[in-house]
Amino acid sequence: MKAPNAYSADCPTRQILDRVGDKWAVLILLLLREDPMRFNRLRRTIEGISQKMLSQVLKSLERDGLVRRRAIATVPVTVEYSITPLGVTLAKAVDPLRDWAECHLKEVLAAQRRYDGQTKAAA
Amino acid sequence: MKAPNAYSADCPTRQILDRVGDKWAVLILLLLREDPMRFNRLRRTIEGISQKMLSQVLKSLERDGLVRRRAIATVPVTVEYSITPLGVTLAKAVDPLRDWAECHLKEVLAAQRRYDGQTKAAA
DNA sequence: CTGAATCCACTCGGATACTG
DNA sequence: CAGTATCCGAGTGGATTCAG
C-alpha cells in the first residue's frame, strides 16, 4: 500500500470486486461449495442463467483457480465441476455479505421506499 | 429460508450482490467511510469514473440509505456526501473481501497464467 | 450431455454540452 | 460547484443453431 489513492484500477480489491460483482460467479461458487455438480444440473438449479453465461462464467472461474473442471470420458461426456480450496476461501469471504444481505435488506428496501416517496412528492 | 433453491432472483443475497458488484458503488462507500466528501473531490479521487456514473451511483447509494447527501446553500452550492450507519455496516461486511483480495490475488493471477499457458499450448 | 458459434437487442458507460 | 441531458460506441447477455 503506497498512496491512499489505491482507488485506482491497480487495486487488487477492484479486481476481486469485479469478479464478485459478476452476476452469476459468486452464486455458482456458493452452489459448488455445497456439492459438486454437472453442467446441466447447475443450469437447472440456477434457473435463469443462459447456457452461454454458465459456460462463460465457469470457464473464468476455472481460469481463476476457484473452480475445478473434471471431464469423464463416458459415453455421453460427463463433466463435473467442483470448488477448489482457494474457491472455498473466497466463498467464506463472501459469507459476511450474505449475512448482511439477509439482516439488512429490509432496511434497504425501506430506505428505497422513503426515497422514492420523497422523489415522487417533489415531482 | 425455505427450499435450498433460493438461488433464484428472490434471494436477498442476489440483490445485495448486485449492489456490491457495481463497479463503483463499494469503492465510493469505502472512500466515504474514511471521510465525507464533496462531489468533485470524489470525482478527482477516484479518477477514472465519469461524472455521469458518479452522479448515478451516488443517487442509488442514497436511495438505498447507504449514503447521505447534504446540500448547503452557499454561493456556489456545496454538497457533501457522507456514509450512513447502515452504509458502515455494509462496508464492514465488505472488508473480508478486501482482505481476501490482498491475500489471494497472487494465487489467482498464477492460476490464470497456468490456465492461459495450457490453453495456448493446446491451440 | 457439454459445450462452441453466430446473431442481435439492449444496456452500460464515456464524451460532450448545457443549467442553476 | 454540482449536477442534468443527449448522443453514441462498445460490451453484455439471451435465443438459436451446430458439433463432439
pLDDT tens track for A44-60: 998 889 999 999 999 99
Residue B100 pLDDT > 60: yes
Instruction: Summarize pLDDT for B6-51 with one digit per residue, the tens.
Output: 566 667 777 888 888 888 899 899 999 999 999 999 999 988 899 9
Of A45, A104, A51, A41, nearest to B94 by C-alpha is A104
Q: What distance in Å separates the CA atoms of residue B75 and residue B96, rounded to the nearest whole number?
A: 42
Chain B residues within 8 A of A3 when measuring between CB atoms: none
Residue A3 pLDDT > 90: no
Tell me which of B57, B99, B100, B114 to substitute to probe the interface with A (most A C-beta atoms closer than 10 Å): B100
Task: Domain of residue B108: give its range.
Answer: 12-122
Measured between CA atoms, how close is A76 to chain B, in angstroms? 23
CATH, residue B77: 1.10.10.10
**Confidence band, pLDDT 50/70/90 cuts, at residue B1:** very low
How far does the CA of A76 sit from the C1' of D18, in Å? Answer: 17
CB atoms inside a 10 Å sphere around CB B87: 22
pLDDT of residue B37: 96
**For residue B108, what is the nearest residue in chain A, using CA coordinates?**
A64
**Confidence band, pLDDT 50/70/90 cuts, at residue A7:** low
Phi/psi at B39 (5° precision): -55, -55
Residue A76 in any domain: the answer is: yes
Of A34, A65, A116, the CB nearest to B108: A65
Q: Do B15 and A107 lie within an 8 Å CB cutoff?
A: no
pLDDT of residue B122: 62
Residue B72 in any domain: the answer is: yes
Chain A residues within 8 A of B94 when measuring between CB atoms: 97
How far does the CA of A76 sit from the C1' of C5, in Å? Answer: 21
What amino acid is encoded at A89 in this protein? T
Residue B47 in any domain: the answer is: yes
Which B residues, 13 through 32, put their C-beta within 8 Å of a C-beta on chain A? 13-18, 20-23, 26-27, 31
Q: What distance in Å separates the CA atoms of residue B8 and residue A22, rounded to the nearest whole number?
A: 15
Sheet holding B67-72, edge to edge: B37-38, B78-83, B67-72
* pTM over 0.85, yes/no: yes
pLDDT of residue A63: 95
Q: Is the four-CA dihedral B34, B37, B42, B44 of positive or negative sign?
A: negative
pLDDT of residue A122: 64
Residue A112 in any domain: the answer is: yes
Residue A28 in any domain: the answer is: yes
Phi/psi at B79 (5° precision): -125, 125
Q: Dump the DSSP string for B70-119.
A: EEE--SS-EEEEEE-HHHHHHHHHHHHHHHHHHHHHHHHHHHHHHHHHHH
Measured between CB atoms, does A35 come within 8 Å of chain B?
Answer: no
Residue B5 in any domain: the answer is: no
How far does the CA of A69 sit from the C1' of C6, in Å? Answer: 26
Instruction: Summarize pLDDT for B47-97 with one digit per residue, the tens.
Output: 889 999 999 999 999 999 999 999 999 999 999 999 999 999 999 999 999
Residue A5 in any domain: the answer is: no
Average pLDDT, chain A: 88
Residue B26 in any domain: the answer is: yes
Sheet holding A37-38, edge to edge: A37-38, A78-83, A67-72
Domains: count for chain B: 1
How far does the CA of A66 sit from the C1' of D17, in Å? Answer: 31
Measured between CB atoms, does B94 come within 8 Å of chain A?
Answer: yes
Instruction: Summarize pLDDT for A15-53 with one digit per residue, the tens.
Output: 888 888 888 899 899 999 999 999 999 999 988 899 999
